[in-house]
Amino acid sequence: MLGGLIGLGGAEFRLPLLIGIFGFVALQAVIVNKAMSLIVVATALPARLLDVPLGDVADEWAIVLNLLVGSMIGAWLGASWATRMASATLYRVLAALLVLIAVALAANHAGTLPSLDLPPVAQVPAGIIAGVGIGIVAAIMGVAGGELLIPTIVLLYAVDIKLAGSLSLAVSLPTMLVAFARYSQDNSFAVLAANKMFVVAMAGGSIAGTLLGGLLLGVVPAGIIIPLLVALLLASAYKVWQHRIDASTG
């Protein structure tokens, strides 16, 4: 529901719950989060076609391709690094990235984002570099990365914010599939088979909550939502950081 209120899949808020409440260790939580993010994004993309026509998205295929070149590379790198990190280190990285997401969320909703108005010769490499960074962050956290993709698309390509949301999903889905493929090579991937019913149940709840959050969008004022969600992410970062202490002593 929180994700639906701000136009995201909610994976940023799901990750701390998987670790702090449901007891998954860091890498297992990331893999479970990635699986549920895939389901939610695959559902959200066609649902948004009612608001943003497919033709409008298809017209901007060059933006999607530009970002995908970098994001798929970043997704493979991020997933590879996550599988090799010690648990204590991964908790530390996840906590830092939650803070980054909180900052990006606050900046994205603070006001209208300007565009950088870059020439094509600079826009293409900037998109690839941004894609690599976003792909790494999304893979390590098991999220879709919309909170970073949307402002990036607006800044680099001067696209309307609603269209940017749909374009971000078009980038996120193949990017997550790459990270998912890399995680499938790790022994920790067995967590999905061991918790199949939990994954299905929570994914169903995530989809329902996203739709409910979208319906509540016009009821709950953004001036209240955003500060509360930023505070929640910062509190979650602290809780995940505390798990780093437990992992290093346990």
pLDDT value at residue 112: 54
pLDDT value at residue 154: 82
Residue predicted with more confidence, 200 or 108? 200
Residue 228 pLDDT > 60, yes or no? yes
Residue 198 pLDDT > 60, yes or no? yes
DSSP string for 114-128: PP----HHHHHHHHH
pLDDT tens-digit profile of 203-225? 888 888 877 776 776 676 656 77
pLDDT tens-digit profile of 10-25? 788 888 889 888 989 9
pLDDT value at residue 214: 66
Q: How far apart are CA 227 and CA 110, in angstroms?
A: 10
Residue 189 pLDDT > 80, yes or no? yes
Q: How far apart are CA 126 and CA 208, in angstroms?
A: 36
pLDDT value at residue 24: 92
Confidence bin at 50 (pLDDT 50/70/90) = low
- Tell me the three state secondary structure of residue 219: coil
- Phi, psi (deg, nearest 5) at residue 204: -60, -40
pTM of the model: 0.82
CB 189 within 8 A of CB 31: yes
pLDDT value at residue 161: 73
Mean pLDDT of 90-114: 78
CB 150 within 8 A of CB 9: no
pLDDT value at residue 144: 82
Mean pLDDT of 107-135: 81
Residue 4 pLDDT > 90, yes or no? no
CB 162 within 8 A of CB 101: no
pLDDT value at residue 183: 93
Residue 80 pLDDT > 60, yes or no? yes
Average pLDDT, the chain: 83
